[in-house]
Amino acid sequence: MRSYHQYCAVAKALDVIGDRWTLLIVRELSLRGASRYTDLRRGLPGIATNLLADRLRELEQAGIVAREDAPPPVATALFSLTERGEALVPVLHELGLWGVRFMTEGPAPDDEFRSRWLAWPAETFLTDNEPDAPPLTIEFDTGDEPMLARVQDGRVQVGPGRSDSPDLRVIGDPYPVLGLLSGDLDLDEARAAGVSFEGPAAALERVRPNRS
């Protein structure tokens, strides 16, 4: 790791996590939980195999990631965040919230996308506006794996999953779906952008932010 050689908390933090790919590895481990090396490779398109190995080793040395050899049938190393690593998750949430403003023009032609990357913005934007209402389940299909939003008692939790009978299924490309979740697109605008709904689309109004 390179060092800024500055006696400053920000500089010391960047000495540990400022290298390219490091925070994205933390992102993947936060979203996935304990992960195999191959899982991380799939979630980090574009990273070289040797660079991922180097970054994981550095994160272990910094006490941010722990490695455990799992017993059969997994029989491979599993990587997970330590308590020190978990302390970075709120930082990533804030960084992602700040970075959303740079996504307004949509993805570049060569941008990769993984459905699980919707989890944090969805939890950031969505709010249960009717906490006394019955539980609500919304499935989002934006590509490689479905994401499930569970809405209950004033909370919205989003993560990978599929429901046999969701209250609503939202299907579309990530860019208009993100616009729908953030309140930048209304239902008609989302439909015009190719988003489709299986179930009552009005159910989204329970959790979507008001448009400014």
Q: What is the pLDDT of residues 93-114, one digit of tens each?
A: 999 888 888 887 789 899 999 9
Phi, psi for 46 (deg, rounded to 5): 105, -15
Burial class (CB in 10 A: 0-12, 13-18, 19+), 151: buried
Any idea which of 9-13, 21-25, 38-42, 142-146 has the lowest mean pLDDT?
A: 142-146
What's the pLDDT at 210?
61
d(CA 166, CA 142): 16
Task: Give me the torsion for CA of 160, 157, 22, 37, rounded to 10°.
Answer: -30
pLDDT of 91 over the 90 cut: yes
Q: What is the pTM of this model?
A: 0.88
Query: What amino acid occupies position 149?
Result: A
Q: Which domains, ranges and CATH numbers included, belong to the chain?
A: 9-103 (1.10.10.10), 115-206 (3.30.1050.10)
